Chains A and B, each alone.
Chain A
């Protein structure tokens, strides 16, 4: 039994990739706009619970629960459900007088009582305070125990991690499973050597330290070395050659007599004419860094492109 998502393309780009979900609890890390489109698709074959789904404000908590069990024609005992939802003391309170956390927990009675094999829940921990989280967890487990499969949509990884380890990320690059290394495995690695390698820069008489991956590129203008981090240029006391040696292990490359570029941030190699090239960087403002002709083929080798 699977749940299939069909691809949606927008302006010749795949906006929502095709994917087939398998049984169990799946987390889907996705932005709001994509989530809305995914939910619209799933409505045909699954019960879709949305954040804005509301309540009948004048019913009491136990009346609400009784109502949804009757709609589903199941014979579950209301006191038992009150316990699962941690609402025993509020049983006779009207829904409109509940606290927000309690009210949001109560909305989960709808997916709990749904009769579909697949249940899709948008942001299961939306506006739920810390002490309510384990209740939601318990409810989700309860839904799973009924033999239903769950797809949880969230834009927040922290909300998905405690519930499942089958988490996918959906974005412009498609849908990918997130891999988690076992923590025990990483502990067995060789004892970490203390090797701090920060890049020192001067900024208004202050010395700042940057981590190498933060640096976009480094340029030398009239003998002064500028380190560019997020669109701001800082001067460095080191020379380009010294920096090149220190930064090479971090994936930096001397692409020009007066430039060093962070290869992790390379987006595109632009060729203007046969003998002139530039590197386009994947940073906020479009940035072009010159590339010497002699450095082109070693760079291509480094990047593994032909």
Chain B
């Protein structure tokens, strides 16, 4: 599979223009920022609520925009000709993912700035956020593969949002129902734990968290790659 920087750039620019001119999608960016702003107004936050806007960004921005970019191609009947064009599948996916990655970094940065949140261990948190982004990019790709329009994609993203963004909230009930402990292995919960460990300086726990996140990312990326190949040969 040949990869060309020029083609990736063309796809990146095209998707960027399509993204910001389509207000139904681009205004989504404001949601986590607004949430971050409201949280910062209330002040005096625990880690749970501090990470809420961040985990929401991953589902509502990273995964959602990624799925929309794929579903949009189908909605406008441009995907088939794009795959027949000189651009390889790798070009298309890297171009789209790069755009979503940049948007994610900007929104996360702004969220953290609004929340006045500075991670205790910047390097570990940076790696963790990048791994999470990869994971949610793959989730968005999977949702995009199975939806045909932006409308469907916005419904399809709901399960991702409920499970991964709101999953950590379930841990509040873990005292009463020990079964719910499994939710701490979610990538979103691991982010919170990682920050906790960083504050206390437990290096081995930090590494465990990063490994868990890496496993999620690798599994999601490979599953999405397999599904993508399968869908493309079906159609």
Contacts and interface: CB of A to CB of B under 8 A. Distances in A.
A63 B14 contact: yes
8 contacts: A47-B85, A49-B81, A54-B76, A56-B14, A67-B13, A67-B14, A68-B85, A70-B10
B27 interface: no
> Helix, strand, loop or mixed for chain B's interface?
helix
Given A73-B4, A110-B81, 18 more contacts: A48-B84, A49-B81, A53-B78, A53-B81, A54-B78, A55-B78, A56-B14, A56-B17, A57-B76, A58-B21, A59-B14, A59-B17, A59-B18, A67-B14, A71-B85, A73-B6, A73-B86, A114-B85
A59 B6 CA distance: 19
Given A56-B18, A58-B22, A114-B85, A70 B78 contact: no
B80 A70 contact: no
Interface in A45-85: 47-50, 52-59, 63, 67-68, 70-73
B9 interface: yes
A129 interface: no
B208 to A, nearest CB: 44
Contacts of B14: 56, 59, 63, 67
Chain B interface bracket (under 10, 10 to 19, 20 to 34, 35 or more): 20 to 34
Nearest to B83: A43
Contact of B86 (A48, A49, A72): A72
A70 B7 CA distance: 6
Nearest to B74: A54
A47 B86 CA distance: 10
Contacts of A49: 81
Contacts of A56: 14, 17-18, 76, 78
B87 interface: yes
Chain A interface bracket (under 10, 10 to 19, 20 to 34, 35 or more): 20 to 34
Contacts of A71: 7, 10-11, 85-87
A43 B21 CA distance: 32
Given A48-B84, A59-B17, A59-B18, A67 B78 contact: no
A68 to B, nearest CB: 8
Interface string B1-44: 00010110111011001100110000000000000000000000
A114 B84 contact: yes
A115 interface: yes
Contacts of B76: 54-57
Closest 4 CB pairs of A and B: A70-B10, A54-B77, A58-B21, A54-B76
B84 A47 contact: yes
Most chain B CB within 10 A, of A43, A50, A56, A63, is at: A56
Contact of A58 (B7, B17, B80, B87): B17
A250 to B, nearest CB: 51
Given A70-B9, A115-B86, A53 B77 contact: yes
Contact of A73 (B7, B18, B80): B7
Contacts of A94: 21
Contacts of A67: 10, 13-14
A47 B85 CA distance: 8
Contacts of A115: 86
Contacts of B80: 50, 53
A113 B87 CA distance: 12
